[in-house]
Amino acid sequence: MMEEIDKPGSILRAERERQGLVIADVVPHLKLSEKQVEALENDDYAALPGDVFVRGFIRNYARMLQIDPEPLLNTVRENLPQKTEIQPPRDVGIPFSTGAKRNWIHYAIALVLIAFSVLGYQIYRGGHPGAVKPVPAEKPAISLPLPKPVAEPVAPAPQPLEKNPASAPVPVPREKAPASAASAVSAAPAQPVVGQGPIRLVFSAPSWVQIRDKGGRLIYSKLGQAGTEQQVSGIPPFLLTIGNAHQVKLYYKGSEVDLASHTRIDVAHLTLQ
């Protein structure tokens, strides 16, 4: 029983449960699936991508829970299977017998003799290599009479256009000045503001909070630190999930909300209209 608790996954699961968080609360922060988080907490490393990813998951999980990741990483290095290094095969020289060496010498001599024979045959067919063949005299170039250039007809010069005194310059209509940028650009839809709003959270201990607005959009997802507070605004109704709810005070439009009636196993689920 003691060995199971000392495993990295068991330590992470115990700390998560102590903080009142469920697996669905940590999945968005770790960017993992619920099956991967369960495999990590069960120390089932074979179900995860690889050793490097396992160490990265454990480090991020420990930081999210605000515990030191180094002892867990040291333990997981001992539990991961060690890779055996594959040694390249040694180069074993093949001994050659004395007879084989003699055969190679005979082959080399035969090749040299064949090369000399081919060279002598080529010299015999082509005559003496030093003889210079006479260069045939160049034939005089035949001059052909050039055709006489044909004179191109000269185009008549363009006549200047007569000015019409009766015609008045046509006024160019001036473009209307563009409307002011303030009136042309439609007002952007208001985005949820974190920092000031109708929802106010006061944390006495670390707590993971998720808030969704009217359209189901996630407007707040964060681990609140002890001794801090946070204000969030958006479009009601709001759907809230608060971990470690007994250590959090919730205020909505200036009034405190009783979380005890909405809390089960230290996690509160409620809707604010």
Which domains are assigned to the chain? 2-78 (1.10.260.40), 194-272 (2.60.40)
Ranges under pLDDT 50 in the chain: 1-3, 83-89, 91-94, 96, 128-135, 140, 142, 144-145, 147, 149-195
Closest CA to 210 of 243, 245, 236, 234: 243
248: its two tokens = 């959090």
Distance CA 245, CA 135 (A): 108
Distance CA 224, CA 199 (A): 14
Q: Cα dihedral sign for 93, 94, 100, 104?
A: negative
Please name every residue paired with 95 in a beta bridge, in sequence order, or none if there are none: none
**In what helix (H) or strand (E) does residue 124 lie, and over which residues does it extend?**
helix 98-126
Residue 172 is predicted with a pLDDT of: 42
Residue 146 is predicted with a pLDDT of: 53
34-41 and 23-30 helices, crossing angle to 10°: 100
**How far apart, in Å, are the Cα atoms of 6 and each of 10, 40, 43, 53, 262?**
7, 14, 11, 21, 34
Q: Are 54 and 40 in contact (CB under 8 A)?
A: yes
3-state secondary structure of 8: helix
Residue 124 is predicted with a pLDDT of: 65
23-30 and 51-64 helices, crossing angle to 10°: 110
Closest CA to 38 of 29, 26, 56: 26
Q: Give pTM, 2 decimals.
A: 0.34
Distance CA 130, CA 136 (A): 19
Q: Are 215 and 203 in contact (CB under 8 A)?
A: no
- 10 class by beta-carbon count within 10 Å (0-12 exposed, 13-18 middle, 19+ buried): middle
